[in-house]
Structure 1
């Protein structure tokens, strides 16, 4: 089975663990796991695997013992459970970051997922990454802070430059910082979480930009009734527009500014439950 640190769903991990153990240990059962974990219910593992039960803080520790996890992996498993059972996106993001920190501490290598999550989740990383394309770019934290209008502090600017180079996004060429690549691919779950943090910051900046001069920004809005069956077509059209704009503007020979485009297409209505029909007498 895969290493624990590769999982983003603890029920999948439990399922893989159980069937792997069944293959290697004759007679292994749900009841045996409960005994080793110190749990009274003989089929509790199955209920959790099937999504019929969640894990409490106490039972997380019991499960870690039954799984035979080291302290580092037990901590990752705890955050993984809390991540999956989180009530809202802020809580999910918090535990996902904790998962990453534990993983980085307990693994020798840093994989592509870690790199891209760091890059995607922070708007100022993207801003500095594009800033290096400007003809007047200077790798000076004070200049970066001033050029980006206070989007980040000087300390953050220095840290961002260092991290973008350390992570391999920026490299030196002919005594100048240049971009290393434009696109990475990672598991959808991790991209989704990273982009939520990113889009949240973009929307905050959009609100602040309402006070900027009209000739420097563009706002458009549309409220319209649609058929839900057309959603895939509409979303694909928006994606195509962004891609085409990106392809065109990326060919710019001497850019002098960095802009942020944000697109939101969100439902204002909610589905209602079907009406309850009166019983026939």
Structure 2
């Protein structure tokens, strides 16, 4: 059975744990709920399916029902907070505590070192900028960035990028990219880090609308009614479009400025069918 520290969603862990115990011991959802002190025989099934949530008083009971102890129990408690919290300090704190528990017990499953690349806008910006500013002092590099950055932050980020293998230092002291583009791959921890970057880049987009002339920015949008089927088709088209943009950027070795392209598609209303049928 996989350890709880291999998961970044407590509901996924609950489903995994239940499936294993059903196979080995014939466990039912009624048995599981009873162990955790719930009257409803299907409550934990609903929780695992995302149709209900664990409240503070029930988290420890569920952890005990699954036989979690010590750091695994502490990890699960933080995992519930991480899964159920919106983006913000509470969610970040829970993730950091999960990471600390994993590291303290020598469980390297969250890839913290790699995840750090996506936690700050400075890393992708400097990865693009530094190779095109050969032998420039960190202060000059910092001054070139529109969002404020210090020379010390430039040094720290460049060291990190080199350590991660995303930048390579040449013999003459200049830097080059190891690859033309960076992909998130299949790393399960990345979505949380990406959320942090999207928040930062979203704020920069607002600043650009306020402070940059039209000749230096391009912002447009469409408000439209969609079915779930149409939404899925548009998401697929956006994915293909993103690949084309990456290909165009990769074809040209030169660079004048570092740009950020945000692709955003999000709902402005609730599901009207669900509202009408309620």
Name the TM-score, length of structure 2 as normaliser.
Answer: 0.76
CA–CA separation in structure 2 for the residues paired with 1:224 and 1:185: 29
1:80–1:247 Cα change, 3 Å: same
Deviation at 1:241, TM superposition (A): 2.8
Size of the aligned set, in residue pairs, is 268
Deviation at 1:40, TM superposition (A): 4.7
**What is residue 117 of structure 1 aligned with on the other side?**
115
**What is residue 279 of structure 1 aligned with on the other side?**
none
Bigger mean CA offset, 26-35 vs 99-108 = 26-35
Deviation at 1:260, TM superposition (A): 1.4
1:97–1:219 Cα change, 3 Å: farther
Deviation at 1:71, TM superposition (A): 3.0
Root-mean-square deviation (CA, aligned residues, Å) is 3.5
1:21-52 per-residue CA deviation (whole Å, 9 max, x = no partner) reads 5666x6878899789x8x555887x6324427
**What is residue 169 of structure 1 aligned with on the other side?**
166
Deviation at 1:126, TM superposition (A): 0.9
**What is residue 145 of structure 1 aligned with on the other side?**
142
CA–CA separation in structure 2 for the residues paired with 1:12 and 1:234: 28
Deviation at 1:160, TM superposition (A): 1.8
Q: Helix, strand or coil for the counterpart of 2:131? A: coil
Q: Is the aligned partner of 1:248 residue 2:248?
A: yes
CA–CA separation in structure 2 for the residues paired with 1:27 and 1:255: 62
Deviation at 1:134, TM superposition (A): 0.9
1:232-262 per-residue CA deviation (whole Å, 9 max, x = no partner) reads 3333333333322221122322323211122
CA–CA separation in structure 1 for the residues paired with 2:141 and 2:263: 26
Q: Is the aligned partner of 1:235 residue 2:231?
A: no
CA–CA separation in structure 2 for the residues paired with 1:191 and 1:231: 23
Runs (5+) with no aligned partner, structure 1: 277-281
**What is residue 276 of structure 2 aligned with on the other side?**
274
Which of 174, 178, 181 pairs up with 1:180?
Answer: 178
Name the TM-score, length of structure 1 as normaliser.
Answer: 0.75
Q: Helix, strand or coil for the counterpart of 1:89? A: coil
CA–CA separation in structure 2 for the residues paired with 1:60 and 1:92: 16
1:16–1:42 Cα change, 3 Å: farther
**What is residue 207 of structure 2 aligned with on the other side?**
208
CA–CA separation in structure 2 for the residues paired with 1:4 and 1:12: 10
Asked if the contact 1:132/1:179 (under 8 Å) is kept, the reply is no
Runs (5+) with no aligned partner, structure 2: none
1:207-235 per-residue CA deviation (whole Å, 9 max, x = no partner) reads 212312443x1223233435434333333
CA–CA separation in structure 2 for the residues paired with 1:29 and 1:226: 42
CA–CA separation in structure 2 for the residues paired with 1:128 and 1:197: 17
| Rg larger in structure | 1
Asked if the contact 2:22/2:28 (under 8 Å) is kept, the reply is yes
